[in-house]
Amino acid sequence: MKKYDGLNQSMLERFATRPGRKELLPELSEKAQVALMCRMLIREGWDEHIAGHITYRLENGNILTNPWELAWGELTASDIVTLDPKGNVLDSDWNVTPAIGLHLQLHAMRPDVHVVIHNHPHWSGIWACMQKVPPVYDQASAYCGVELPLYDEYEGTFENEATSLSAVEALGDAKWALLANHGSLVVGKNLRQAHLRAITLEWRSKRAYEVELAGGGRPLSDEEVKKVSIADDNGFPFVWEAMARKELRLDPGLVD
């Protein structure tokens, strides 16, 4: 992935020509970017011990993923595992989750999807357990639009190929979903887009829970959401870099 893959082109050009500009991030390998994604999302509530998996499909069709044995908060770039499109491990002694089939099926059925994220996040997990979709109450909750499917045919964990396939089919062409009594699923065309969707889903869920706990409020209308959502579906400019820099300051060695 190029250093600023997915960034709004006109904004990138303005940034690149700005006198005295500083680099937003150092050059990062693709494995380093996946490790950063894990670290960044764990701080957003995507943290359920060693559960959860991220896959990132490369241009050659191979797939990078986090190892099963390590929590997202401890792994580094060197721990990221490379799989072939069928899920065979190519370069690691680590194992991968038995639920990797969900990701492989999504990548196979959705050519537009290069990143798949599944975990049992705190706030969106609450709404998944209530089997309700959180309303949109503020601008930050509206960044990725209104539609949020709820997949409510939970039949167990995703080790079962038929179960994971039914979830993939139910997702259709959606960008995210709540999995009733289970967790959340987010997809994207690149890491930046998937990151924005993951953090927006958790913010939306948290804010809606707090508003309703306080007695309720008036959700934004669909028209209002459209006005304040991110027009560039590549993501919120510079958020990926800012959150990545935060993790690099805390642990510079995570990209090694």
Helix/strand/coil for 119: strand
Overall average pLDDT of the 15-27 stretch? 70
Residue range 67-89: mean pLDDT, rounded = 96
- The domains of the chain are located at 27-249
pLDDT tens, residue by residue, 228-240: 888 665 667 789 9
Count other Cβ atoms within 10 Å, centred on residue 162.
9
State mean pLDDT over 216-226.
95
What does the pLDDT read at residue 230?
81
92-94-95 Cα angle (round to 5): 115
Task: Give the torsion through C-alpha atoms of 55, 57, 62, 63, to 10 deg.
Answer: -10
Tell me, what's the pLDDT at 232?
60
Cα angle: 225, vertex 227, 233; to 5 degrees: 85
Contacts 24+ apart (CB under 8 A), 8-15: 8/232, 8/234, 8/237, 11/237
Q: CB-based burial of residue 251 (10 Å sphere; 0-12 exposed, 13-18 middle, 19+ buried)? A: middle
Q: Global pTM?
A: 0.87
Considering all CA atoms of the chain, what is the largest pairwise distance in Å, rounded to the nearest integer?
57
173 vs 67, higher pLDDT: 67
The CATH number of the structural domain formed by 27-249 is 3.40.225.10
Q: Which two tokens stand for residue 72?
A: 């997202």
Run of H or E including 217: none
* Strand-strand pairing, 53-57 and 63-65: antiparallel
Between 5-9, 13-17, 50-54, 122-126, the lowest mean confidence (pLDDT) is in 5-9
Question: Are 79 and 66 within 8 A, CB to CB?
Answer: yes
117 pLDDT band (50/70/90 cuts)?
A: very high
CA R_g for the chain: 18
Residue 4 pLDDT level (bands cut at 50, 70, 90): very low
pLDDT at residue 2 is higher than 50: no
Q: Which of 104-108, 136-140, 150-154 has the lowest mean pLDDT?
A: 150-154
Percent of the chain with pLDDT over 70: 84
> How far apart are alpha carbons 46 and 65 in whole angstroms?
16
What band does 1 get if pLDDT is binned at 50, 70 and 90?
Answer: very low
- pLDDT tens digits, 96-105: 998 898 899 9
